[in-house]
Amino acid sequence: MTTLTCKKTGCTLAQTGKCILDNDPVTCPDRLALIDVLNETPVPTDEVVAKNEDKEIARFKSSYTLAPDQVQALMNERYCKVVGILGIPGAGKTACLASLYLLLSHQKLAGFQFRNSKTLMAFEEISRGAKWSGTDQPADPILHTAIADGRTPGFLHLRLCHENEKVFDLLLPDLPGEWTSSLIDNNRSERLSFLKSAEHLWIFVNGEELHNVNTRNVTIHRLSLLFERISIFFGAAIPKVTLVVTHKDQISIDQKHLTKIEQSAISFGFSISIQQVASFSANNDVTAGDGIALLVADLVDTGISESDSFLLNKENVKGPHTRQMLYYNQNINAHAK
Amino acid sequence: MPNKSIIVIGNPDSGKTNFIARLWLALQSKKFPLRTGKPPDDIAYVESIAEHLLRAKFAPRTEKEDVKREFDVSVKDEHSGAEASILIPDINGEIWKKAVETLEIPTNWMSMLTGATSALIFVRALSELNVQPLDWVTSKQLLEAGLGGDKADQEIPTQISMIELLRFLEDSLVVAKRSTRVRIAVIVSAWDLLDQDQSEQGPEQYLENQFPLFAGRIKDIEKMDIQVFGSSVVGGDFTIEEFTKAYQENDYDDSGYIISKAQDGTWKKINDITIPISWLLGISQV
């Protein structure tokens, strides 16, 4: 229940529920006039000026995850490669994103240099342990405001420079593993519709579960179900798919199991490549971050998605085929250099 | 009324205040092309910090946030005849640190920021307060623990702070309509503390080695001009007795230098601390 308030000097409506002039609060002209003034006052968004107790405070924009409307604005401005990231809880998605960020922070992502990120503090928070709490609700409401309703994704942004001097933008959705589980179990795909703009799909699987005899068959079976869901979801316009097998530092996976997974994908009409990674390492022979540079390198020449469906809010789109135009322009510029 | 305002940005212990003190002494010495014109009315603040250098001590880190610390002076370039009236507010590093952590800043400082025509960003070489990026071991522990009560204990890495400060500048300065592109000078202070190998590589390579994310970020600025300098306000360290003795015996106007990139791409050591200011004012192309 909302308490009625009145900004008129001396009015005790909020405290007593009665207008100091005995007017009906619903029709009181003094109260309504002040409400009109408040409604006409622009609501500050980016640089909110809030009254502190004794001094005014201004606020800068944040660099946490991007909401879909921010992503749309960015994608209308420049061509961005969207990487769809799927994987059940514990597959190692967040650890891989954290490790990618650490590799850049230490200038150890072979073949790449950092150029920019509109979500720098989000990466910083992720590397410090911000993660999904295991439900559709985020662990950190500040970090994941964009996905607070559990239906819209938050995106991470990176601009990298490849050793071939090509600069490109990546958009990486930071999704809870439960979204993949519910895609498999309940075919909940509506909130993943943005994936249809993805140039590349990374499907994460915990390498330990593929290695362990007690979990291997279940894991392969669940991957097979996921492949089937993906093939139906994307139809003919399926993007390039990489199976990212984590925990490379701890396990070695028999090729026959990987072959079985590859064949499963083929049976649903698409092929996959496999990349093993060690986001962290407890093994002196494997460097932390191993395999991640190859994962990113594979994105450099990935072609544009056939779908523009992520640009859901058509009012914001400058014109048809915006992404194709930006992609074309980017490549023309790259060749001109 | 100043027609130029140079905002000075940097974390605590990044060298801002000592640079301003040395700049004042250099302008006032009238030995370099950029000089003071009419003496400013209020020089109490710059005199208070310059006194430390004149007594062979570095100005201590300032603790109070709200003390007015401005440097308002008319300058003239003897070569070109160009004149400018500049205001250099020295905002406490703690305020910038807090701004990065909370995204909040007192509105009076925000006004200073949005009113600036150019900026100096400081980072101090080898500062004990520089925070390194997380390593994999720590990150893994934090990931396993989840984001909890230790969050406040984790300092934001220096390179992230610098990128965020640069972003604040980009958002604040570029939005205002200006007839010329905004110039940003990045100053690596305490350059004299680096060994010969590091020093010879120059300030840009130093940033690449120590703060790779920031080094990459400044290559991606489209709407501002950025120039990197190294600086040593007195050319040495007052904790070294021999240096201090020599400094006190010799003319302090000869102390201190700027490492600046020449047009041929080589790095030059120049005994003129005013060089970044000349560049920011558009008087020199460096």
3-state secondary structure of A266: helix
Residues 6+ apart with CB under 8 A from A219: A205, A206, A209, A210
Q: Give the whole-angstrom CA distance, residue A294 versus residue A316.
A: 35
Chain A contacts of B99, Cβ < 8 Å?
Answer: 60
pLDDT at residue A30, as a whole number:
59
Whether A124 sits inside 8 A of B104 (CB atoms) is no
Count of alpha carbons within 13 angstroms of residue B139, beta-carbon side: 27
A97 in reach of chain B (CB within 8 A) = no
DSSP code, position A192: G
pLDDT digits (tens, 9 = 90+) for B70-125: 778 999 999 998 888 888 888 889 999 999 999 999 998 898 898 899 999 999 99
pLDDT at residue A3, as a whole number:
44
pLDDT band at residue B39 using 50, 70 and 90 as cut-offs: confident
pLDDT band at residue B151 using 50, 70 and 90 as cut-offs: low
Whether A49 sits inside 8 A of B219 (CB atoms) is no
Q: Give the whole-angstrom CA distance, residue B93 versus residue B99.
A: 10
What ipTM is given for this predicted complex? 0.92
pLDDT digits (tens, 9 = 90+) for A52-103: 444 699 999 999 999 988 998 898 888 999 999 999 999 999 999 999 999 9
Which residues on neighbouring strands pair with residue B83, listed in sequence order?
A: B76
A149 or A93, which is more confident: A93
Q: Judge contact between B133 and B215, C-beta under 8 A.
A: no
pLDDT at residue B99, as a whole number:
95
pLDDT at residue A324, as a whole number:
64
Of all residues in chain B, the one with the smallest CA distance to A46 is B171
A161 in reach of chain B (CB within 8 A) = yes
Per-residue pLDDT for A23 more than 70?
no
Q: Give the whole-angstrom CA distance, residue B68 versus residue B269.
A: 33
- What is the pLDDT of chain B when averaged over all its residues? 90
Q: Give the global pTM.
A: 0.85
Rounded to a whole number, what is the distance in Å from the CA of B233 to chain A's nearest CA?
30
Which whole-number Å values give the CA distances from B11 to A114, A277, A330, B159, in the listed order?
A: 22, 36, 37, 11
- Dihedral Cα A85, A87, A90, A96, nearest 10 deg: -30
